[in-house]
A and B are shown apart, each in its own frame.
Chain A
Amino acid sequence: MAVIHDPLQKPEGRIETKNTTCYMCACRCGIRVTLRDGEVRYIQGNPEHPLNKGIICAKGASGIMKQYSPARLTKPLRRKEGSNRGDSEFEEISWDEAFGIMEERLAHLRATDPKKFALFTGRDQMQALTGMFAKQYGTPNYAAHGGFCSVNMAAGMIYTMGGSFWEFGGPDLERSKLLIMIGTAEDHHSNPMKMELSKFKRNGGRFISVNPVRTGYSAIADEWVPIKPGTDGALFLALIHELIRTGLYDREFLVQYTNSAELVSTDEDSDDFGLFARTDIPQDPDCFDPQDRVWWDRTQDKAVHARTKETDPYLLGEFKLADGRDAKPAFQLLKDRVEDYTPEWAAEVTGIPAETIKRLAYEMGITARDEKIELPIAWTDVWGNDHDTVTGNPVAFHAMRGLAAHSNGFQTIRALTILMTILGTIDRPGGFRHKAPFPRPIPPCAKTPKSPDDVKPNTPLNGMPLGWPATPDDLFVDDKNEPVRLDKAFSWEFPLAAHGMMQNAITNAWRQDPYPIDTMMIFMANMAWNSTMNTTSVRDMLNDKDENGEYKIPYLIVCDAFQSEMVAYADLVLPDTSYLERHDTISMLDRPISEYDGPVDSVRIPVVPPLGDTKPFQEVLIELGSRLKLPAFANKDGSRKYRDYPDFIVNYETEPGSGIGFLAGWRGKGGEKFMKGEPNPNQWEMYEKNNCVFHYEMPKSYQYMRNWNRGYLNWAQEHRLLRYAEPINIHIYSEILMNFRLAAQGKREGKQPPEHLRKRVETYFDPLPFYFEPLENHLTDKHKYPLNAVTQRPMAMYHSWDSQNAWLRQIHTYNFMYVHPKTAAAAGIKDGGWMWAESMHGKVRCLCRYSESVEPGTIWTWNAIGKSKGAWRLDDKANESEKGFLLNHVISEELPPHEAGKHISNSDPNTGQAAWYDVRVRIYPAGDDEPKESYPQFDAMSALPGTGKTQKVIGFFAGMFRKKTG
């Protein structure tokens, strides 16, 4: 018998292992990269990393094919003279030339009119640096991707309870008994969510998923509750109705930790109608939420200062204050509000039977009340009351873009937060828990400039480029109450646009509304494809010229690592490195990866050298900042302050001597301090030695009830996470919103909305959550367009990034439109047949797939699988462009003209969140004589100089001693 080939034989080669942080999506898992002869051989989850504890996802495990993708850009490129944008005709230039071009152009703009430079970035994980660059430059026109992602989730929750889902907090599945996941497909959070869901189920937890579609996480739910898109708010309000009606709310929690018992003036004739009644107890003028409210005490039957010891207020009722004004507790106003939001009413709106809605309410209420957790952890609240235990009501929620990406999302998410609050689940075991640096004040302290005078030549911006308005006077408007920013964020159109409105940047720049700009720099955002609505028109805008033959957007700089659709429209292309080739920080100043038990931040450290002439965008900004002599990057004599990005990270402090920098770990001269401390020259090495991650686990007594936990708040203040150590009481009733409404009603001094927006602001700035149909519904013929159309992101792909990935594109090569069989059959569309989906804005031709996992009034598809021909270095015949499609073509970035204006963004009227999921469509079969390909199609993009060769066959085998691929 012949000797059997030894299957255990190890291939030859020099093996090295290095730790860094993944970037195949936004999770930021710790990874361990094994190299063989310098080539990436294996990427695994780092078992010692607190976020992913050794696990990795399909994307993370395919990093090799991203690293060696032929779509990698390797040279700075300049659009060839005489060619049009979109033609992909480029010539290679040196970095010196590229910097020369940018320095000259940007220095001129900064000296003349800095707002003519706009910087917009995608899901870049470095907003702290990009935002700081914009501020230092002095332009207000900066935003990252939040406006078209999930700002409603952040703003809706932060304006209500000072924290939010994902990076800022989440469900405590370790101790929860009941999880309701709503509007979440398969991401946000990805790996940690999968890990926790599995443990939760194995521990006997009950998992209910509310979603129009049953895929991903919903697949393993114990119960799937299909819902019509955009109606989640109606469900929450009916649940609140039922919980109040049956007395299944947590009274003690509402009294002490929220403004539920605080009296609101209901006297329509009084000056303070809709505002809280206040005592004249002296307050610290610096504080953000004065504790001067009034309760009606049950025992004494009179008004008392809220939270006076030994008092117990009414939550319901109607009272007369000493001066004769009528007042009601905020909770009574909430009860009045939900009076007509019955389960029967919500059943009509949501498509969920009333009996199911009631049962869901009872499951939540009974679990919260009867499965109570008492942890033996003593803590002291901010009013000085000692507690022997931490109480938990083990009902957890998780929600994401399914709620957020609707124009009614802000009020919907307010309703969700209030539902979570009346169940008594905020920052408690088994409920929702914060992650540092949250909770933050309501709203957080960061503020934008308030006037055009805050934008001056050769001067940093007087304020943060993005912030959290607390009153109408915080808006960034001119003396006519018109927007100062290009995207109109923080104007009366979108007052609480906390993440900016990138989705309107190109359209507004093209229309020169509110003003023309000169140079737009786009980092890592595919604005000519999947990251924009109305894709075809936006591509035309990027290429549009005025009567003098000049581009309406005069200069476009695009930094990307890959040959994306957007790159074709650039005048100047800057090739970024891959995530395995650079230093990077996952910073506490940005959106860190904290755990419930304490702050966590992390770094990337290069594991392989940069490909070709690639340069990390971080280095580009440091270099540009130095050349432009921006104060943070230059010494007084104009010389550069920082050698490079690693040097900047170690030595930069938010203010001289503040001790606060990008990294929180191993600060102080010898690395002995954290959060705050002098720069440590060996900080990078210390991160590298410690799995590239810093994790501080707080004492158990600081880990819960943080909005009101004296120990935690003092600690957070001492370590400068917070300016104030004051209670962050939950806003059942939002006086902040009421102040905007009063301004709209002309009842408040200070900034006033323009006349045409008064009605809009008055309507949507309701201090109590309410349900309204998504804005587009009011302006669409719902009989003509009877269906909702939505997208979801597949687990194995991150936006448009992974079609170039030889392994991942075999999982999702093209996308179908999923339609319920009855809906499809009624329209005469066959399973597997070509069909049209048409909205009032546009139409797409695509392939139909019958599905029983979708609510019959909804059709859906995977996001960003479809590609433009030739983009991402795919062949012209690739399935992604022939059969794949984008839903974006049927979605508009602007609403049809209506009373609020001719060009109002298709976004939430409170926050400016892009309303991706509001679109309504009709469907019909494609004709037999039509081409068997998706529509629209675009001219093929040719290979850019410096990109790689697309092999016909890959047989990847890492290392020098490669097996032959033939």
Chain B
Amino acid sequence: MTQLALIIDLNVCVGCHACVTSCKEWNTSGSAGFMTDENPYGKDPTGTFFNRVQTYEIGEFPSTETLHFPKSCLHCEDPPCVPVCPTGASYKRKEDGIVLVDYDKCIGCRYCSWACPYGAREIDEKQKVMKKCTLCVDRIYDEELPESERKPACVLACPTNARLFGDVHDSESEVSSTIREEGGYQLMPEWGTKPANHYLPRRKTRMHIHEDELQRADNPLKKEERGPRAPVDAPTLDDSTSW
């Protein structure tokens, strides 16, 4: 059974927000749109986004890490937002595991957002329906798009290629091997939601210097040695010993 998901590589995410706005521009005019913006030119503007980037500081100066953390619906395999929905608007697709909301049925009661431990759902204050990441379901099956572009907008946009997309149930897929090999992990697995999206941790490249690497045979300073040279015609031992 297919389970589509995003793998987000925190090792290369620079927090540029390309995923945030490319998601918005695709989806506001797509099947999940529109995505409301309130007070767009006034005090405290706020709008619907399916994807946000949070930034954290970890540790104390000078050993501080700055971490950018993109977050959207994790498309849980056991999504707590689905059973709590009184109208059946919140559902998980059997064919690909994407968790969606049927706006025609949603009554905006917010039970799902209370049930979601990740805070991934946002009510659209204008339309009074719950909205969230669809994994660009209206792109990924669109045969009018070139095959290479049948991906979520955030994945296409990401300048550091920090977002991988694929089937985490297919052990041969790129996303599955990346999870295995690069230490992919789920958020809060203790909740038993089995999030399909995974994150890849920071990995450090270090350099170890051995002392002998500084004692170099090819040290170019050797070529600069220029001992004092006595003139050729100055007396030498060679001139005055005959045996």
**Chain A interface (Cβ < 8 Å from any Cβ of B):** 2, 4-11, 36, 41-45, 47, 52, 54-62, 64, 70, 178, 186, 190-191, 194-195, 197-199, 201-202, 204-207, 214-220, 222, 224, 226, 246-249, 251, 298, 301, 312, 314-317, 359, 362-363, 366-367, 369-370, 795-796, 804, 806-811, 813, 820, 851-856, 873-875, 877-879, 882, 950-959, 963, 965-966
Q: B233: CB under 8 A from chain A?
A: no
- Known contacts A9-B31, A42-B25, A47-B148; decide if A218 and B104 are in contact (CB<8 Å): no
| Contact bitstring B28-55, A, C-beta under 8 A = 1, else 0 | 1111111111111111111101000000
Q: Chain B interface mostly helix, strand, loop or mixed?
A: loop
Whether A7 pairs with B137 at a CB distance below 8 angstroms is yes
Cβ-defined partner of B126 (8 Å) among A195, A856, A955: A955
Q: B24: CB under 8 A from chain A?
A: yes
> What is the bound-complex CA distance between A821 and B135, given in angstroms?
40
> What is the bound-complex CA distance between A251 and B104, given in angstroms?
74
Whether A197 pairs with B220 at a CB distance below 8 angstroms is no
Stretch at the interface among B15-23, B76-84, B113-121, B166-174: B15-23
> What is the bound-complex CA distance between A957 and B27, given in angstroms?
9
- Known contacts A8-B138, A807-B21, A965-B126; decide if A201 and B205 are in contact (CB<8 Å): yes
Q: List 29 A-B contacts (CB under 8 A).
A: A5-B102, A11-B30, A44-B157, A45-B157, A55-B156, A55-B157, A56-B22, A56-B159, A70-B41, A194-B16, A194-B160, A195-B159, A201-B205, A216-B15, A219-B14, A220-B11, A220-B13, A220-B202, A246-B214, A316-B221, A317-B226, A366-B209, A806-B41, A807-B47, A853-B64, A879-B43, A879-B45, A955-B33, A956-B29
Residues of A within 8 A of B11 (CB): 201, 220
Q: Which of B107-154 contact A (CB under 8 A)?
A: 126-127, 134, 137-138, 141-142, 148-149, 153
- Known contacts A44-B156, A317-B226; decide if A55 and B91 are in contact (CB<8 Å): no
Whether B220 pairs with A249 at a CB distance below 8 angstroms is yes
Q: Which residue in chain A gives the minimum CB-CB distance to B10?
A: A220
CB distance from B21 to the nearest CB of A (A): 4
Q: B240: CB under 8 A from chain A?
A: no
Q: Chain A interface mostly helix, strand, loop or mixed?
A: loop
> What is the bound-complex CA distance between A207 and B44, given in angstroms?
38
Whether A875 pairs with B43 at a CB distance below 8 angstroms is yes
Interface size bracket, B side: 35 or more
Residues of A within 8 A of B39 (CB): 875, 952-953
Residues of A within 8 A of B14 (CB): 186, 194, 197, 216-217, 219-220, 795
Closest 6 pairs between A and B when the two form their complex, measured CB to CB: A251-B220, A806-B40, A198-B160, A194-B159, A58-B17, A247-B219
Residues of B within 8 A of A190 (CB): 159
Q: A55-B157, A298-B223, A878-B41 are in contact. List 7 more A-B contacts (CB 8 A).
A: A7-B102, A58-B16, A359-B209, A366-B209, A852-B60, A950-B41, A957-B33
Q: Which residue in chain B gives the minimum CB-CB distance to A254?
A: B220
> What is the bound-complex CA distance between A808 and B47, given in angstroms?
11
Cβ-defined partner of A218 (8 Å) among B36, B66, B216: B66
> What is the bound-complex CA distance between A954 and B30, given in angstroms?
15
> What is the bound-complex CA distance between A194 and B226, given in angstroms?
49
Residues of A within 8 A of B226 (CB): 298, 314, 317
> What is the bound-complex CA distance between A950 and B137, given in angstroms?
32
> What is the bound-complex CA distance between A138 and B214, given in angstroms?
60
CB distance from B102 to the nearest CB of A (A): 4
> What is the bound-complex CA distance between A222 and B207, given in angstroms?
10
Whether B64 pairs with A224 at a CB distance below 8 angstroms is yes
- Known contacts A61-B157, A219-B68, A820-B61; decide if A875 and B41 are in contact (CB<8 Å): yes
CB distance from A740 to the nearest CB of B (A): 31
> What is the bound-complex CA distance between A424 and B91, given in angstroms?
60
Residues of B within 8 A of A298 (CB): 223, 226
Residues of A within 8 A of B32 (CB): 7
| Contact bitstring B84-114, A, C-beta under 8 A = 1, else 0 | 0000000100000000101111000000000
CB distance from A20 to the nearest CB of B (A): 16
> What is the bound-complex CA distance between A541 and B127, given in angstroms?
50
- Known contacts A198-B12, A873-B41; decide if A214 and B64 are in contact (CB<8 Å): yes
Residues of A within 8 A of B205 (CB): 201, 204-207, 222
CB distance from A38 to the nearest CB of B (A): 13
Between B45, B60, B209, the greatest number of chain A beta carbons within 10 A of the residue's beta carbon is seen for B45
Cβ-defined partner of A810 (8 Å) among B31, B46, B60, B161: B46
CB distance from B56 to the nearest CB of A (A): 10
Q: B73: CB under 8 A from chain A?
A: no
> What is the bound-complex CA distance between A301 and B220, given in angstroms?
18
Residues of A within 8 A of B185 (CB): none
CB distance from A57 to the nearest CB of B (A): 5
